[in-house]
Structure 1
Amino acid sequence: MMDQWKESSEEEEEEEQQPSDQSVLPTGSQDQLEDEEKPTQAQEVTSGDEWDTDLETDKATNEKQCLSCAELYLQACWWTGSVPVSSFLRHLGEASLNLNHYGVGPLGAKALAIVLQNDIVVTNLELEDNGLGAEGARYMVEMLQTNISIQSLNLSNNQLHLEGAHIISKMLLDNYYIKSLKLSGNDFDDSAVKYFADALKGDYVVKELDLSHNRFCNTGGEHLGHMLATNVGIEVLNLSWNHLRMGGAVALSAGLKVNSTLKQLQLSWNGFGHIEAESLGQALKQNSTLVLLDLSSNRIDDQAATLLCQGLAANDTLRVLKLSQNPLTNIGALTLLKTVTNNMKSAVEEIDISTVFVCEAFVELLEKACQGRPALDVRHSAMSSVTRNSSALQIFQKFLEERNESIMDFFQALDKEGTTKVSTSAFRKAVKAANIPLDQRQLEWLIRMFDKKCTATIIYSQFAELS
């Protein structure tokens, strides 16, 4: 089918006295590309490096304008020996080009680069999990030297390794258009992250950077910390699924203290514990831009949560805190909630501790907090008994409302002498006599709520606000 299309194309071009198909394609060869010198691990990143490209010549550029995108892509695939991706042909003319998981490979990446180097339509290019390797990344970088429309690039899970990191970092040194870059799962280590950190110091173009699912450790954290201290562009940084513990986390937190642009920081699955929580807590005291912090699936227990709260007590910008899948208990959950509610300047609107089973005291405090902060959303878990008990007050109030009574009316009816006090035994008998639909556990929880000091006496005047 490709031969038939080629012959037909040649006949049409001869009739129109256009150059042959071969002149439409780049003049270099694949053998020449493979002989090109590749960067070594010791090679330094410099802004003066220039790329050699065999994607096109000036003559080829002019002749490509005579072809449609589809024709150019098919010819590029034929010339590179790659299999055309049908999804590319189906979505021509769309701003978002999603080619994730299509097995494009290095040669397929070269064919795409030939077509996209002068494209002005595509703004989002998705190439995750395509086995591009460093060679395919090189073609994408060459393409980006002339393409000025692509702003979002996803090269996650493409086995880029250290060489690919070097290639992409060189692009970042002269980048004016890529605002979102996803590089998750490319086996980058501390040496690779140094390339990115050096290239992004002082950068203001890249707004979103995903480096999750790599192998950054202490040294990598130090590089990232230095980058955060000088970077003035990144707003979203994903470092989940790395190994940024101990010194790496401390260095990262130090950079966070002085950073003035980062809004979202994702650090799940990094093994953070006491030391890391304390350093992040200290960073939150000084940071004034971060609005989301994701610490899910770490080793943050009740003590670590207390250390983190040292920063939350003074922070007035953080809105979302994610702590699910951590060894927190109800004690740590209460500490978090009390810290947020006691900080009058706190901006926290969402706390995710959905894997923590809380007690009635937590539920009670949350309900009270939500009265003053209606937007506050704390995701938590609770046993059915806790949920049932915590609803006792609402059941009690609803019953009285149906009888056009208030809680104060109920207590005053029992207080014949006007002492503003009622014994717990008298209250218990009155509730049962009135057939209020509370089971025994709910009734006892309600009594404990009214008699917090366990004096067997309820001073009901302090509950006037409940009426």
Structure 2
Amino acid sequence: MYEWEEESQLHEEEQQPSDQSPPTGSQDQVDEVMPAQGPDSGDEFDTDLETDDSTSHSLSRAEVYLQACRRTGAIPISSFIRHLGETDLNLNHYGVGPLGAKVLAIVLQTDNYATNLELEDNAIGAEGTRYLMEMLQSNITIQSLGDYVVKELDLSHNKFCNAGGEHLGHMLASNVGIEVLNLSWNHLRMRGAVVLSTGLKANSTLKQLYLSWNGFGQYEAESLAQALKQNRTLALLDLSSNRMDDEATAILCNGLANNDALKILKLSNNPLTNIGALTLIKTIKNNMKSAVEEINISTVFVCEAFVELLKEARERRPALDVQYSVMSSVSRNLSALSIFQKFLKERNESLMDFFQALDKEGITKVSTSAFRAAVKEAKVPLDQRQLDWLTRKFDQNCTTNITYWWILW
């Protein structure tokens, strides 16, 4: 729900008895800051975040906020005034808009309390983004006043497009100390995504980046891959619910192949298939310096080859957690190997013994037809599909012969 407060409502709150008065100043102070006439005709607030230095230091934060609202024409939000001075500024769903973002930026330029800022679902757009980025680039001032910086920034659901992405990219490149940035549910594609990724490439503080529901595809994956090759701090990348197909995932893997920092990758609800999943797990397995601990491709149905490759990857990294989907037929096929192993163990027989009994000529190979016949004759508890899969596993090159000398248990 949006919380838009008319100026008259704000004044009504401030006319309450003294024991319920707002935390900043008297009614006279508010009236002085917000006179009855219309907005100033001056344009000092049109392009910059300028304030009147001769008076701003003598005003309370609420007075600075109300003055900025009056000059920009933004509707004041009384709840924001009540939260001024708190370390966590949660303004989610307040309908801040571009002008509100400008007012917020003006106030936070000289604020030495805020450490966390949340602005989800506020439609601040590219214009509002510019104001916030300008404010964040002056965080050195905030740091010198109170040794605080804004480390978490939630800008999801704000309709950012190319211009917004460019402003955010420039902000990231300037290393302002942000560690968590949520840009989900925006429109950061094409040029906006490229500049954003360029900023990520130069950034040395960001640890978590949320980019779900932005329409990222092959074009955007290319710039992200380049960023991942150089970035050494990003630990979580969320690309859920985008347009990341098999080709886009392969492009992204070009960056993952040379990355040693990323720990969590989220790719669920994308159009990638088992092919993209295989490319991804191969890249992680082959990158000896990879730090990946968790991959979410929970909406991808994988094949037996993926599960076996993942098993190999976990031999080196037992803690690797991959969330995926698998059809019952795949699970049944994968169980064929363990069923065959159990059968041989119960007969006190090795796989080598089983094949040597079939190899009458001693040439270390038997035909697939002979293997099938022997399995059925021995009454190994496998159905036809499981037997087909097990045969293909042993005859991976489809030569109709199984060279068994290399098989070790």
Query: Does TM-score exceed 0.5, indicating one fold?
Result: yes
| Map of 2:351 onto structure 1 | 407
| Map of 1:135 onto structure 2 | 77
1:340-355 matches, within 5 Å, as 340-355=284-299
Secondary structure, counterpart of 1:461 in structure 2: coil
Q: Which amino acid aligns with 1:46?
A: E
Please, which moves more after superposition, 406-415 or 192-201?
A: 406-415
Distance 1:260 1:308, change over 3 A: same
1:208-287 matches, within 5 Å, as 208-287=152-231
**Given the alignment, which residue of 259, 262, 282 partners 1:318?**
262
| Map of 2:50 onto structure 1 | 46
**Given the alignment, which residue of 86, 96, 102 partners 1:160?**
96
Unmatched segments (≥5 aa) in structure 2:
1-16, 66-73, 140-147
- The answer to whether the 8 A contact 1:202-1:231 is kept is no
* Cα distance in structure 2, aligned partners of 1:138 and 1:341: 49
* Cα distance in structure 2, aligned partners of 1:28 and 1:247: 49
Percent identity, aligned pairs only, is 60
- The answer to whether the 8 A contact 1:301-1:327 is kept is yes
Secondary structure, counterpart of 1:181 in structure 2: strand
Partner deviation per Cα, 1:241-266 (whole Å, 9 max, x = no partner): 01111000000000000100101100
Q: Does 1:438 align with 2:382?
A: yes
* Cα distance in structure 1, aligned partners of 2:280 and 2:52: 51
Q: How much does 1:163 deviate? A: 2.2
- The answer to whether the 8 A contact 2:80-2:91 is kept is no
Secondary structure, counterpart of 2:117 in structure 1: strand
Secondary structure, counterpart of 1:355 in structure 2: strand
1:20-419 matches, within 5 Å, as 22=18, 25=21, 26-28=25-27, 35=35, 42-46=46-50, 50=56, 52-53=59-60, 134-136=76-78, 139-140=81-82, 143-144=84-85, 150-201=86-137, 203=139, 205-419=149-363
Unmatched segments (≥5 aa) in structure 1:
1-20, 57-105, 107-131, 145-149
Residue-pair matches, total: 366
- The answer to whether the 8 A contact 2:114-2:150 is kept is yes
* Cα distance in structure 2, aligned partners of 1:272 and 1:438: 44
Name the Cα RMSD after superposition.
2.7
- The answer to whether the 8 A contact 1:33-1:54 is kept is no
Partner deviation per Cα, 1:401-434 (whole Å, 9 max, x = no partner): 3444433333333334443222212221222222
Q: Which amino acid aligns with 1:136?
A: S
* Cα distance in structure 1, aligned partners of 2:360 and 2:107: 84
Q: How much does 1:368 deviate? A: 2.1
- The answer to whether the 8 A contact 2:249-2:280 is kept is yes
Please, which moves more after superposition, 276-285 or 372-381?
A: 372-381
Partner deviation per Cα, 1:363-396 (whole Å, 9 max, x = no partner): 2222222222211222112221122112211222
- The answer to whether the 8 A contact 2:61-2:107 is kept is no
Q: Which amino acid aligns with 2:194?
A: V
Partner deviation per Cα, 1:118-165 (whole Å, 9 max, x = no partner): xxxxxxxxxxxxxx9643365146x32xxxxx3222110001112221
| Map of 2:71 onto structure 1 | none
| Map of 2:405 onto structure 1 | 461
Q: How much does 1:53 deviate? A: 4.6
Q: How much does 1:174 deviate? A: 2.6
* Cα distance in structure 2, aligned partners of 1:54 and 1:459: 80
Structure 1 length normalisation: TM-score?
Answer: 0.72
Q: How much does 1:196 deviate? A: 1.0
Q: Which amino acid aligns with 2:275?
A: I
Greater RCO between the two (CA within 8 Å, min separation 6)?
2
Q: Which amino acid aligns with 1:391?
A: S
Q: How much does 1:347 deviate? A: 1.2
- The answer to whether the 8 A contact 1:159-1:186 is kept is yes
